[in-house]
Amino acid sequence: MDSSMTDRSAYLVIDAGGTFLKSAVLSTDGSVFDGSSCMAKAYSSSSREKILGAIKQIIEGGTSYITDMELSLMGIGMAFPGPFNYIDAIPLMDHKFASIKGVDIRQYINQVSGLENEIPVKFRHDANAMLAGELWKGNAQEFRNAAIVTLGTGLGFAFSIDGVVQCNEIGGPAITIFKTPYKDGILEDYVSKRGFVKVYNEIAGQEKKVLDVADIAEMALNGDADARETFCEVSEILSDAIRPILEEKEIECLLFGGQISRSFCLMEETVSEKLNEVGNLKKIAPVGSIENAALLGVLNELLNS
């Protein structure tokens, strides 16, 4: 491939969330092409036609940009929540994207892009992708054994050993923590968007009921004692749950991603105190880029395929 072709190489990368599909066109070095970022409503709880229509919209938007800019499309990749067969590109979810369970998404993307089998189309679990992006270009670059907790609508976890993100047999995270039994339910009931709201309402009482973590974070930053206690309690619950994994896998760097990690400053002190005695742990921090870490991780998969 000559240098002019290399300079025009482009990858369409998509981060599929429960609320929105976000995409960008990236160069081989991970830079985002100006004006290439797109967003579409995901319709994750809607019909098969609406979900596939959203994927089609985001694919067509990206490929049109690549054509208009006279770039060479070298691959398409998606970060997707699980459960999902990342090898065969088959969603396995019952809670969101349920109406496309069993659909061959790679085949669908090949059809709507008009590039059937001409370029690689890869899929990666969103937490695995985010960690891979941080190992490559973010806050885990200096470490071989790293882990990430993703906090949002759900609770995700991924880790690497010797710089390699660890996966199960279908490409998902090697260890999942969201289903870990806790109190009268599972860990995700207490450490996720609904978890923060649940804990806050238990602490503050129903008369101060809130609906969103962003509200709790804003109140905490403004000095509300109940809101600050909520972040402390959730941080304690999470730290106690992951400590044995961090010790067993000799994790050196622990990162936090997902939308709730924007409020990491409210968790940092408690998490650091609770994990202070984890021997190998040298760094606890938010991801370097909440917006782009997963996209970079998917790009890294495409480049190494």
Mean pLDDT of the chain: 94
Spatial separation of the C-alpha atoms in residues 213 and 47, rounded to whole Å: 28
CATH of the domain at 224: 3.30.420.40
Query: Does residue 120 have a cis bond before it (omega within 30 degrees)?
Result: no
Answer whether residue 235 is part of any domain: yes
Look up residue 286 and give its two tokens.
């938010």
Answer whether residue 187 is part of any domain: yes
The 10s digit of each residue's pLDDT in 64-118 is 999 999 999 999 999 999 999 999 999 999 988 999 999 999 999 999 998 877 8
- What is the mean predicted confidence (pLDDT) over 255-280? 96
Answer whether residue 133 is part of any domain: no
Does the pTM surpass 0.85? The reply is yes
Q: Are residues 48 and 111 in the same domain?
A: yes
* pLDDT of 2: 36
Q: What percent of the chain has pLDDT over 70?
A: 97
Range of the domain at 36: 3-128+293-303
* pLDDT of 18: 85
How many Cβ atoms sit within 10 Å of the Cβ of residue 192? 25
The 10s digit of each residue's pLDDT in 109-157 is 999 998 877 899 999 999 999 999 999 999 999 999 999 999 998 899 9
Q: Are residues 148 and 98 in the same domain?
A: no
Look up residue 206 and give its two tokens.
């129903």
Answer whether residue 96 is part of any domain: yes
Q: Are residues 152 and 281 in the same domain?
A: yes
Q: Are residues 164 and 101 in the same domain?
A: no
Per DSSP, 143 falls in state -
Alpha helices, DSSP H, located in 2-146: 3-7, 48-68, 105-113, 126-137
Q: Are residues 113 and 147 in the same domain?
A: no
Q: Are residues 98 and 216 in the same domain?
A: no
Answer whether residue 227 is part of any domain: yes
* Counted domains in the chain: 2
The 10s digit of each residue's pLDDT in 229-255 is 999 999 999 999 999 999 999 999 999
Answer whether residue 135 is part of any domain: no
Q: Are residues 107 and 150 in the same domain?
A: no
pLDDT bucket at 281, cuts 50 / 70 / 90: very high
